[in-house]
A = this chain, B = another copy of it.
Amino acid sequence: MDELLSWWGKTVGQNHALRLVDICLRGAGQVMLQNNPVTGFLFLLGIFWSVSVEGAAAVAIGAIVGLVVATMTAILLGSDETSIDQGLFGFNGILVGVAVPTFLVMGPETWFLLIIGAAFSTIAMLAISHVTKLWGVPALTFPFVLTTWFLVLAAYSFGHLPIAGMGPPALPSPFAEPADLSAASFLNACLKSISQVFLINNAVTGIIFIVALLASSVYAAAFAVAGAMVAVAVASFLGANPADMSAGLYGFSPVLTAIALGCVFFEPSWRVALFALLGTVVAVIVQGALDAAIAPLGVPTFTAAFVFVTWLFLLPKLNLKPHGHEPVSDGIMTGK
């Protein structure tokens, strides 16, 4: 792996087009906080696998368009070179590009919306980072969440933006029929919790994503798997809707929270693992809370639970030894 990355680094340095490919692949990798082009490539592979099985080509095209538009916008606006090179302006764009075709029917107006949204995600990234930098925490995926909330909410107001797969808006009502998961359902729910980080409901994609994380960091893969297991177990204990659990909808934010707290913004240790465990449990509760809170609007929560919980757990600036302070010092940095 190290040799591959070193060869890639040399090749990229000699070619402008390849450098853009490298930046975009790192942008894909940053969705799970990994600054690694191989990880990003495997994430795209996982998306393409699901797309080829489901026949939803627009999701794959949207992912590439969103990634490239957001990255090019950052370059055109003359943003910080180091941040661009680490892919920090790509991960929100690729998520916008996956989300729009997942929830809306694609046509000229929705493609226009997707492109404007991807470009705007970069402006939102710059804006939100400017504020969170004052707090000493990263923007995480909040630019994606905010941008995509605007885009999919707008679909309720504009007749040429037809809704494909969300809503309808409804007042929250208590869920009354919890049921236990079988062992096979549990495993399935864990894998889909990982694939749903990219809004994909596919267990094989979940496995590809774990391999992608392994290519970057054993810790990241371990915290992702552990986060998924904790999330499904807690959701089941609290009596969540089995269909939602099986689709991974209770796990994607806790998975990201576990990675972020467990090995990205703190250095892994037993103390940090315990702290990340508490964060992961809280992320499950907050996921349930936000699902209820957003129900009247008929749009998804996206990764809002991850963002809010991770911010709240990073903001105390706890000195969880042996924790280096650097990783949280720059608001725009989301990976090492």
Which residues of A are interface residues toward B (Cβ below 8 A)? 77-78, 109, 112-113, 116-117, 119-120, 123-124, 126-128, 130-131, 134-136, 149-151, 153-163, 168-178, 235, 237-241, 278, 281-282, 285-293, 295-298, 311-319
Contacts and interface: CB of A to CB of B under 8 A. Distances in A.
Contact of A161 (B159, B177, B238): B238
Contact of A172 (B156, B239, B315): B156
A237 B113 CA distance: 11
Contacts of A131: 135, 315
Contacts of A120: 278, 282, 312
A296 B124 CA distance: 26
Contacts of A172: 153, 156-157, 169, 297-298
How would you classify the secondary structure of chain A's contact residues: helix, strand, loop or mixed?
helix
Nearest to A124: B312
Q: How many copies does the complex hold?
A: 3
Shortest Cβ-Cβ A-B pairs, 7 listed:
A160-B239, A159-B239, A157-B288, A126-B316, A159-B178, A127-B315, A153-B289
Nearest to A237: B109
A102 B158 CA distance: 26
A317 to B, nearest CB: 7
Contact of A151 (B289, B297, B317): B289
Nearest to A134: B134
Contacts of A126: 315-316, 318
Contact of A292 (B78, B109, B157, B170): B157
A237 B195 CA distance: 35
Contacts of A163: 174
Contact of A162 (B149, B174, B317): B174
15 contacts: A109-B238, A120-B282, A120-B312, A126-B316, A126-B318, A130-B315, A130-B316, A150-B285, A153-B290, A153-B292, A158-B239, A159-B240, A163-B174, A170-B171, A293-B297
Contacts of A109: 237-239
A154 to B, nearest CB: 4
Contacts of A153: 172, 288-290, 292-293
B158 A123 contact: no
A66 to B, nearest CB: 16
